[in-house]
Amino acid sequence: MSFPLYAPAEEHEMLRETVRALAEEKIAPHAAEVDETGEFPWDACKALVAADLHAVHVPEEYDGAGADALAAVIVIEEVARACASSSLIPAVNKLGTVPLLLSAAEDLKRRYLPPVARGEAMFSYALSEAEAGSDAAAMRTRAVRDGDHYVLNGTKMWITNAGVSEYYTVMAVTDPAAGPRGISAFVVEKSDEGVSFGPKERKLGIKGSPTRQVILENVHIPATRRIGEEGTGFKTALATLDHTRITIAAQALGIAQGALDHAIHYVKERKQFGRPLADFQGLQFMLADMAMKLEAARQLTYAAAAKSDQAMHGTRSPDLTFFSSAAKCAASDAAMEITTDAVQLLGGYGYTRDYPLERMMRDAKITQIYEGTNQIQRMVMARQLLK
């Protein structure tokens, strides 16, 4: 693929400036408090909605901005640079709605996408279960047809922004004998009778984004809320992740960039042995490696975003699966290394909450785990190579 396909255009750089200014003014000042209290970042959410940056990927025909995948990456990246928890607002809105964009009937799209585009509701994604994490096809949540309705029973696990989002894409088994081909996708509303949520998980990082169980007890929903044909849910789930792993790469890039920026500022100002830390070659080499890893991951992520756009617009992109897994894996591994080195560069201060580096290091870890662990990403990439 040639470079111009994914090089940011002038409008992308203008968008970056807009998001960075908003994030620094209205999101970064609250990031430490969000982490400390574990409360959902409503101030950040309101600021993103006011600037129409909460779900830029929704097409114009559904009241959205119609932004391309690279624009969505840039939004998530710049918000994550300030606050990883807040970056999950645009990221999870995309994760929850991509199944509709890929597979839903037009009536379903017109019912659920405009409220998300207008900032009236958020949309989460419910695939994993307690015994079906990396092996998502082992899910036990059932959806049984009852006339013109389905009845859903089961418990979804590790659901990001659960309890805050109004809508949920839920994967459930409709034909237990058919394996992965017996899984279907549905839209469930928070207000549906029988929907409840488990307690918030007590987590290492991204503490401002609630992670909870979604509990379904005899939830009756109209059959018109099925996304695509019966039995196509798992295929839709995997196709969705091809597009949305790129948003996790973007989140990782933002966390890493924030850590690198803070580390550079610190080593310029901090003096030891009568000289700024920035004068010491050993530390210069650390910074150079951090920046190199970050930029390599960024270019891979932007290339993956270009392939996502091609696939979304009907152009065959056979290597999207490889690129999305590679971007997510490379960016999250880089973020973990960069944030760890940034803490090291600040020494004892890096280990305290007086500086944001320890939070960024904790937040970075989840990017190696969710939307498919990096071990799973390597399996996915290897399968693509060996086809």
pLDDT confidence of residue 3: 38
25: annotated active-site residue: no
Question: Would you say the C-alpha torsion 293, 299, 305, 310 has a positive or negative sign?
Answer: negative
Rounded to two decimals, what is the model's pTM?
Answer: 0.97
Residue 7 has pLDDT above 90, yes or no: no
pLDDT in tens, 61-92: 999 999 999 999 999 999 999 999 999 999 99
Question: Would you say the C-alpha torsion 344, 345, 351, 357 has a positive or negative sign?
Answer: negative
Assigned superfamily of 123-230: Butyryl-CoA Dehydrogenase, subunit A, domain 2 (2.40.110.10)
* 221 DSSP β-pair partners: 150
Fold of 234-386: Butyryl-CoA Dehydrogenase, subunit A; domain 3 (1.20.140)
Distance between CA 171 and CA 139 in Å, rounded? 8
Residue 266 has pLDDT above 70, yes or no: yes
3-state helix, strand, coil in the chain (%, to 5): 60, 15, 25
What number is the average pLDDT over the span 324-343? 98
> Strand 142-146 vs strand 226-227: parallel, antiparallel, or unpaired?
unpaired
Under the banding of pLDDT at 50, 70 and 90, the label for residue 317 is confident
* 188 DSSP β-pair partners: 168
* 272 DSSP β-pair partners: 275
Distance between CA 74 and CA 250 in Å, rounded? 7
Under the banding of pLDDT at 50, 70 and 90, the label for residue 313 is confident
What value, to the nearest 5°, has the Cα angle with vertex 178 and ends 220 and 216? 25
Tokens representing 172 are 């459930």
pLDDT in tens, 159-207: 999 999 999 999 999 999 999 999 999 999 999 999 999 999 999 999 9
The distance from CA 21 to its chain's CA centroid, rounded to whole angstroms, is 21
Helices (H), 224-280: 233-269
Q: Assign residue 6 a region: left if phi > 0, alpha if psi is -120 to 50, beta otherwise?
A: alpha
List 77, 230, 358, 371, catalytic entry:
371
Residue 61 CB partners (closer than 8 Å, separation 6+)? none
- Candidates 263, 298, 303; CA nearest to 283 is 263
CATH class label, 3-117: mainly alpha
How close are the terminal C-alpha atoms of the chain, in Å? Answer: 20
Domain boundaries along the sequence of the chain: 3-117, 123-230, 234-386
Mean pLDDT of the chain: 96
